[in-house]
Structure 1
Amino acid sequence: MMICMLTTHIERADLNLLAPLVALLEERQVSRAASRVGLSQPAMSRALQRLRRLLDDPLLVRDPDGFRLSARAEDIHRQLTTLIPLLETLLSPAEFDPRAATQPVNIAGSDYAVHTYGPAIARLIGTQSPDTAVRFHSWRPDGIADQIRRGAVDLGLFGGHAPDDLNVTRLVTEHFKCVVSEGHPLATRSALTLTDYLGLGHVVVDVADGKQPDIDYRLAELGRPRRAVVTVPYHTAALPMLHGTDLVATLPGRFVEAWVTDSELRLLSAPAEIATMPYRMIWHPAFELDRRHQWLRECVRTAVVDHE
């Protein structure tokens, strides 16, 4: 039995408005949305007006902090989370030649990921696909998983817990290092016990919800949380906070060994209970068999693993 698909509303819509619609709903600001899709600001304003007429809704509503999504726009945004990755797969070429590719690559990760693995990833992609731009994105407040579900990025690099609805593979196992100032009471130690560690004040990197998940969630499971004295948004911001204090920062070893050239800082091994972090690559299952995405995942895997 043949199933007839209804296309009544699609036939009256200009599908060229889909990319501007996604950008407007995610950026919630005309100039940023225009820059994202390569349109001028007047062109994006015209696209917004056409979308408002088509959907019979304002979509973006001004408030004291700028713009917010209307209720209809929020609903459309949720539906696009599923639709966009499927459309990307549907419209991508069956075959993929990286030498002829021009579509930018979008990778999300923390400053640790970009500093530590970004150069190798960019070099390898540039070697294999010279016309492909590599764009690294910082984590959004709503999380790396939602960036992937919305199709805002191709894949993410992270050390947190894996959502069940996304594909994940482990790349490397990272070892944590504790960083203290030269004058710290425990600076001469080679490693910290958990008791020593929990007796200190901590500089915490806000990786997710004000915590470093692979440290703080494990400590919570043990019923022994640490005391956050200073919380910073980036790994690089943690180090200057340590000078002249008795605080400790716990950072990935590959990252911190490249940054700590300062004779006033000391590196110690982290307690065994939080010593390691599985570092992963995460992507939407809609792209599992996509040739371009398979090539990208292999580039990232090779660059990260070879970095060891």
Structure 2
Amino acid sequence: MIDRISRINLNLIVSLHLLLQELSVTKAAQRQYISQSAMSKNLAKLRELFHDPLLMKAGNELIPTNKALQLAPEVAKLVQTMEGLFSPQDFDPSECRKEFTIAATDYVSEYMLPKALAELYLMAPHICINVQNWDKQTYQLLKEGKVDLGTTIQDPNAKDIHASLINRDHFVCIMRHDHPLSGQAKLSLPDFAQYHHAVITVGTDKTTAIDRALAEHGVTRKVRLRVSSYPSAVNMVAQSDLLLTLPSHIAKRLSQDHPVTIKPLPVHIDEFDCTLQWHHRNHQDPAHRWFRTHLTQLIQQQELGPISRGS
């Protein structure tokens, strides 16, 4: 077995990992800093090594074979282990001069990051931090290394993304204090469907779970307002008859600044994880590990507990 392994070029394992991530010879070559022709030769060697095509053309795209899909998680673990072997173990935050980019919603930027970042600057005074909006391109930016961390609801379908749990939460409905439905102890499904709704368009796709649950009861929301800002959406709802569904810890915090009432939803929707997320490419980096670990802890220390479902 050792003799066989000794004849394998470990760079081929790295090439296989990148090819399975990118499903593109060109992009994989760029990430490994080799030419496209060199990556094509590596793919040919890998096909011979595993006795399988691994990636097959389908129009202008490459699709993985069943063998490749089986190999992908094991290859990712192997590359992670190799990265750990050659990564420096000592890290001094007081000497770190790295720049970190965080993608977050405006709610996170305004209410959760300021206190956490102030503490991080005390421990690592030379770091630079960029905060930008989370949008539908963020997962691609994480993959490309242009964003280091993102705070959002966990997407189980996101590939090569790691996550640390900030808190678990559930959805609630808010409305203005004197809304026609505000006097009801519980919202009925017909009433919920009767009124117009606002939706938040930033972060990962929150509307799918909500609308899927409603569809099971034959109900479709009448969306009349789409807003990319949490505080703006709540402010608009506080001055109209619109209903807004959002995570309970956000509703709890923003209700302190706006005249709104919080109600449980008339349908059950599973709890979800609010997380800090990063791409596998940064998983073993000592500076990144230090930054994300402390950022997670500092956010967790804040009051993020969800309100009771029965409130």
TM range, smaller chain? 0.5 to 0.7
Q: Which residue of 2 aligns with 1:296?
A: 291
Identity of aligned residues (%): 24
| 1:153 pairs with one of 147, 158, 171 | 147
Instruction: Spell out, residue by residue over 1:226-276, the C-alpha distance to the aligned partner (whole angstroms, 9 max, x if none).
Output: 221111111122123224432111223333333334564222233451374
CA distance in 1, matches of 2:236, 2:278: 34
Structure 2, gaps ≥5 residues long: 1-6, 12-23, 34-78, 304-311
Q: Find the residue that maps to 2:296 and give its secondary structure.
A: helix
Taking a change above 3 Å as real, the CA distance of residues 137 and 100 of structure 1, as seen in their structure-2 partners, is same
Q: Find the residue that maps to 1:146 and give its secondary structure.
A: helix
Write the mapping of 1:129-278 to structure 2, written as runs, cut at 5 A: 129-142=124-137, 144-162=138-156, 163-207=158-202, 212-219=207-214, 224-261=219-256, 264-271=259-266, 273-274=268-269, 276-278=271-273
Instruction: Spell out, residue by residue over 1:99-129, the C-alpha distance to the aligned partner (whole angstroms, 9 max, x if none).
Output: 1111122111211222232123212311211
Q: Find the residue that maps to 1:183 and give its secondary structure.
A: coil
Q: Between 224-233 and 210-219, report the one with greater CA deviation.
A: 210-219
Relative to the length of structure 2, the TM-score reads 0.63
Cα pair 2:214 2:220 within 8 Å, conserved: yes
Taking a change above 3 Å as real, the CA distance of residues 96 and 262 of structure 1, as seen in their structure-2 partners, is closer
Corresponding residue pairs, total: 235
Q: Find the residue that maps to 1:238 and give its secondary structure.
A: helix
Q: Find the residue that maps to 2:210 and give its secondary structure.
A: helix
CA distance in 2, matches of 1:145, 1:292: 21
Q: Which residue of 2 aligns with 1:128?
A: 123
Residue 279 in structure 1 maps to residue 282 in structure 2: no
Following superposition, the deviation at residue 179 of structure 1 comes to 1.7
CA distance in 1, matches of 2:195, 2:10: 66
Q: Which residue of 2 aligns with 1:29?
A: none
CA distance in 2, matches of 1:205, 1:81: 36
| 2:110 pairs with one of 115, 140, 143 | 115
CA distance in 2, matches of 1:244, 1:171: 31
Instruction: Spell out, residue by residue over 1:203-223, the C-alpha distance to the aligned partner (whole angstroms, 9 max, x if none).
Output: 111136986345345445666
Cα pair 2:153 2:204 within 8 Å, conserved: no
CA distance in 2, matches of 1:282, 1:172: 13
Cα pair 2:175 2:242 within 8 Å, conserved: yes
Q: Find the residue that maps to 1:237 and give its secondary structure.
A: helix
Q: Between 210-219 and 123-132, report the one with greater CA deviation.
A: 210-219
Cα pair 2:149 2:276 within 8 Å, conserved: yes
Structure 1, gaps ≥5 residues long: 6-74
Q: Find the residue that maps to 1:274 and give its secondary structure.
A: coil
Cα pair 2:103 2:133 within 8 Å, conserved: yes
Cα pair 2:102 2:148 within 8 Å, conserved: yes
Q: Find the residue that maps to 2:268 and give its secondary structure.
A: helix
Relative to the length of structure 1, the TM-score reads 0.64
CA RMSD of aligned residues (A): 3.4
Cα pair 1:269 1:275 within 8 Å, conserved: no
CA distance in 1, matches of 2:292, 2:32: 22
